[in-house]
Amino acid sequence: MTRLILFNKPFGVLSQFTDRGTADSARATLSDFIDIPRVYPAGRLDRDSEGLLLLTDSGKLQARIANPRFKTEKTYLVQVEGLPDDAALAALRQGVPLKDGLTRPAKVARIEVPDIWARTPPVRYRKSVPDCWLSITVSEGRNRQVRRMTAAVGHPTLRLIRAQIGDWRLDGLETGTWRDA
């Protein structure tokens, strides 16, 4: 029977079970939170991003979730610097030119501040620069894509939380905890 685990990855945790960095780096990994043999991440989530990470013992399911050709939608809650105007949001919806090519169109909406956990360490705030939250859904998985997209329209990402992958959602899963799907 295939096992699928939903994990709410905290900020600063690598999306792998071992740290191949320097011997003195001692960065947190999945093994600090999940002690289940033979499950592997289906895709990645950057060390400085938080939220939903799926792990499975099925290579076939792992490929279906992570491979860009299947266009699995991923939804992110994104805190950005500044207040994006309609033109910036339209650019994200149409596709943004990045160094590795034009992104697919994204679903984008301004949202209220989400009811989420506090981040450790907290996001750096600047009194002179406002910020806001967006919901951004993409169907491709380029490296640091959402961060690069928001920066390309003039609104750098301050905090990025993946809330949904396909039909799987965080739905109350506390940071640093996991559950079977």
Q: Which entry of 46, 85, 100, 171 is annotated as an active-site residue?
A: 46
Q: Tokens at residue 71, please?
A: 């266009």
Phi, psi of 98, deg, nearest 5: -120, 175
Query: By three-state DSSP, how is residue 54 classified?
Result: strand
Closest C-alpha to 56, from 138, 137, 1: 1
- How big is the chain by its Cα radius of gyration, in Å? 16
Given a contact cutoff of 8 angstroms between Cβ atoms, the answer to whether 116 and 77 are in contact is yes
Question: Is 32 among the residues known to form the active site?
Answer: no
Question: Which residue, among 79, 76, 77, has the nearest Cα to 129 in the 3D structure?
Answer: 79
Catalytic residues: 46
